Amino acid sequence: MLSKTLCICFAAIMCITAFIMTSVPGLGDDARYPMTITDSAGRTVSIAMPIERIIPVNTNAAEVVTMLDAVDKVVAVDADEQKKSEMPKELKKKQTIGKWSDPDYEMIGEIAKGSGDTIVPDILVITYPEADKIYGAASMEKGLSSFKNITVVGFKLSRPENMSEEITKIGILLGKEKEAANYLEWYEGHKSEIENAVTGKARPKVYVEVYNTGSGLGALPSVGKSSALFNQINFAGGHNICNDVKDMSPKVDWEWVTT
C-alpha cells in the first residue's frame, strides 16, 4: 500500500514538474542555449536565450529579418528604414532609435527595458561589423555598456562572398534556420548562374555614382575597392574604373570618369 502511495506521489510530482517546465518561459526551452556565435567583426557573442526582440540598425539586416519572416520580432528600427520604399509597411510603423550613423543609445536601452526595471536578455541589436566606425558592432556595444543583457552583433550583408554564411548565422540567432536555408538555396542557385554567365567574358568598364547630394562635377561620389558595391560589380563581371582607388567612397572628377 505504501509503495503504491509513493508511486502515485512520484507520478504527481513528475506531472507538476513537466507542467512548470513547459509553462514558464526559459525553462525546458531549446537546449542550445546559452549559445555562442562569431559575427562578421570576428567577435564571439553569447546568446543567453531565444531571441524575441530585434533592433536592426543595419538596413541590410532589416531586409534579411523581413525575408526570414521575423518582422513580428522587430521592436525598433533606424530612421532610414522608415523612409525606404522597399521596406515593408510593418517596419515603417516601428519606433525609431535615430539614424544608423548616430544611434540613440538611451532610447535603445529604454526599449530593451520595456515596462520593467531590468532587461530580459532576449533582445538582439544587429548593426554593421566595421571596427573603426561609430555604427560598428564594437562601438555599439560600448555605447550600450551601461545597459546589461543587450546583445549586439555585426553583419555586413552586402558582399556576395560572405552572404550565405551571414544569413545562416542570423537564421540560427532568430530560430529561423529553415527559412534561411530555403532562401539560400534560391540565392546560391542564381549566384551560380551569374558566375557561369560571366566566366571567360571580357569585363566592361563600370562607373557607379552613389548618394550624390549636389557636390558638383568636380567631386562625384563613387565606390572604391574596399566597398561592398565594388565586390558586387566584380562578381557580376564588371571592371570598376575606380579599381585602383584606395578610398571606399572616393570623390572623382567628371573628366577623369570620361577619359
Burial class from Cβ neighbours inside 10 Å (0-12, 13-18, 19+) for residue 189 reads: exposed
Q: What is the pTM of this model?
A: 0.80
> Residue 84 has what pLDDT?
82
- Residue 10, class by beta-carbon neighbours within 10 Å (0-12 exposed, 13-18 middle, 19+ buried)? exposed
Fold observed for domain 35-192: Rossmann fold (3.40.50)
CA distances from 215 to 28, 219, 225 (A): 58, 6, 22
What value does the mean pLDDT take over residues 156-165?
92
Q: Where would I find the beta strands (DSSP E) of 35-155?
A: 35-38, 44-47, 53-56, 76-77, 95-96, 98-99, 102-103, 123-127, 150-154
In what helix (H) or strand (E) does residue 190 lie, and over which residues does it extend? helix 177-198
Res. 16 pLDDT band, cuts 50 70 90? very low
pLDDT digits (tens, 9 = 90+) for 17-63: 444 444 444 444 578 899 999 999 999 999 999 999 999 998 899 99
What pLDDT is recorded for position 29? Answer: 54
Please enumerate in sequence order all residues whose Cβ is within 8 A of that of 55, keeping only pairs 6 or more positions apart, or say none.
74, 75, 76, 77, 97, 108, 111, 123, 124, 125, 126
pLDDT tens readout for residues 202-257: 999 999 988 777 777 888 989 988 788 888 999 999 999 998 887 888 899 999 99
Higher pLDDT, 24 or 259: 259
- Residue with the three cell numbers 532610414: 80
Kindly report the CA angle at 123 between 110 and 86, in degrees rounded to 5? Answer: 95
Query: What is the CB neighbour count within 10 angstroms for residue 86?
Result: 9
Q: Is the pLDDT of residue 12 over 70?
A: no
- Per-residue pLDDT, 63: 93
Would you say residue 109 has pLDDT above 80?
yes
Domain with CATH 3.40.50.1980 in the chain: 35-192
- pLDDT score recorded for residue 234: 92
